[in-house]
Amino acid sequence: MSVRITRIAFVYHRVTDIVRARDFYERVLGMKVALEYEGAPGKWWIEYDVDGVAFAITNVGMPNGNGGAVPAFEVADVEAAAKALRAAGAMFVEPLTEYPRCLSFTVTDPDGNQIGFHQLKPAEEIPKFVPSLAEEVEPYIHAPSGRTVAIASGMITVTFTFFHRLVSMSLRKVKKA
């Protein structure tokens, strides 16, 4: 049996200073509070509705400002958003960059949590995938992961042969034990 995920329930960041975080998310980003409650004295959960998905900030638990999910917010004008965040003094960890499908950038909130801002290009500007062109790409090793990128003719055979040898060696070791 597999898990059946039906939707994203919420995404949240832990923050150290709820007042400072609220100022950033509400004044700088213009988000509107959808729900807020104080679960214990001084411990808050604040939710913002982002097109039907809850994004929340909380000062419950210890923030580390360096990990977890990175929400990416779709914006109407990514260049204007970058300009506004630069003017507000936001720390950019990825500059405004053009990709084949979109334009995006990433900043940090006051606690160091990363937040992406994204604008999808119009459909007619997004390159279409052409399988015949992908087959012409020479395979190479992706340095950070050590994985082979792209598949050229013969690559499946080489990979299978290597895997078969690896499994055969492992089976021989098990039989000797």
Rounded CA gap, 89 and 87, in Å? 5
Reduce the DSSP state of residue 22 to 3 states and report it. Answer: helix
Q: What is the pLDDT of residue 175?
A: 38
Using the structure block, give the residue that is written with the tokens 């499908």: 101
Q: Work out the pLDDT band at 18, boundaries 50, 70, 90.
A: very high
Structural domains in the chain, sorted by start: 10-125 (3.10.180.10), 131-176 (no CATH)
Q: What is the pLDDT of residue 26?
A: 96
Q: How many CA atoms lie within 13 A of 5 on its CB side?
A: 4
**Region 116-120 average pLDDT:** 88
pLDDT in tens, 23-39: 999 999 999 999 998 88
pLDDT in tens, 64-89: 666 667 788 888 899 999 999 999 99
**Beta carbons of 104 and 96 less than 8 angstroms apart:** yes
Rounded CA gap, 33 and 35, in Å? 6
What are phi and psi for residue 129, nearest 5 degrees? -75, 125
**Region 96-109 average pLDDT:** 88
Q: What is the pLDDT of residue 167?
A: 38
Q: What is the pLDDT of residue 159?
A: 40
For the residues of 48-104, what is the DSSP string, one character each? EEETTEEEEEE-SS---SS-S---EEE-S-HHHHHHHHHHTTPEEEEEEEE-SSEEE
Q: What is the pLDDT of residue 149?
A: 66
Range with the poorest average pLDDT among 105-109, 117-121, 127-131, 144-148:
144-148
Q: And the tokens for 53?
A: 């998905």
Q: Is the pTM of this model over 0.85?
A: no
To the nearest whole number, what is the mean pLDDT of the chain? 77
